[in-house]
Amino acid sequence: MLRKLLYTAFLCQLLAMGVTTVQAVTVDISSPQEGTEVKPGDTIELTVTVTNDSPDRDCVAVTLKLVADGIKHPVVARGWIRLKLEPGETVTKTIALTVPADLQLPGPVAATLEAVATGNKSGTQDTDSLSITLVPAS
């Protein structure tokens, strides 16, 4: 009976105080083309910063995708990087995604570049995004 009372008291305290989770993997992306117009065939330069805030070494996979609103096949371009990070380590990589030259656009289209970082060992995930506008080639 005492064990049930202690368990109930602990559970009530946990629910009252809330559960806090530690975000072990974080990602941040930036681009000089953020907020600008990009044409099919152009290259988008990205700076990707990934941090391992966990106390353990982690292998982090970062997937990138350029998603355009309102077109038949919204995922326009993809990319990825894989990093092995020591505890507390931050790595910054510069990569490029090319918008397919044969992309057919009805006019200016809002697009989002999404980054998702997943820590294999920590099991945590973080996302970041930025916006650009895709415009038809002239």
Express each pLDDT in 68-122 by its tens digit.
988 888 999 999 999 999 999 999 999 999 999 999 999 999 999 999 999 999 8
> Looking at domain 22-134, what is its CATH homologous superfamily?
Immunoglobulins (2.60.40.10)
Give CB contacts under 8 A, 24+ apart, made by 68-71.
68/105, 68/109, 68/110, 68/111, 68/134, 69/109, 69/110, 69/111, 69/112, 70/106, 70/109, 70/110, 71/104, 71/105, 71/106, 71/109
Average pLDDT, the chain: 87
pLDDT at 19: 45
pLDDT at 59: 95
Local confidence band at 61 (pLDDT 50, 70, 90 cut-offs): very high
Q: How many CB atoms lie within 10 A of CB 19?
A: 6
pLDDT at 71: 87
String of b and e for 91-128 (b: at least 16 CB within 10 Å)?
A: beeeeebebeeebebeeebebebbbbbbbeebebbbeb
Q: How far apart are CA 6 and CA 58, in angstroms?
A: 36
pLDDT at 138: 76
pLDDT at 100: 94
pLDDT at 3: 53
pTM, entire model: 0.80
Please classify residue 52 by burial: count the beta carbons closer than 10 Å to its beta carbon, then call 0-12 exposed, 13-18 middle and 19+ buried: buried
Task: Report the DSSP beta bridge partners of residue 49.
Answer: 28, 92
Of the candidate ranges 19-28, 29-38, 115-124, the one whose mean pLDDT is the lowest? 19-28
**Model confidence at 132: pLDDT above 70:** yes
Structure tokens at 138: 């002239």
pLDDT at 8: 60
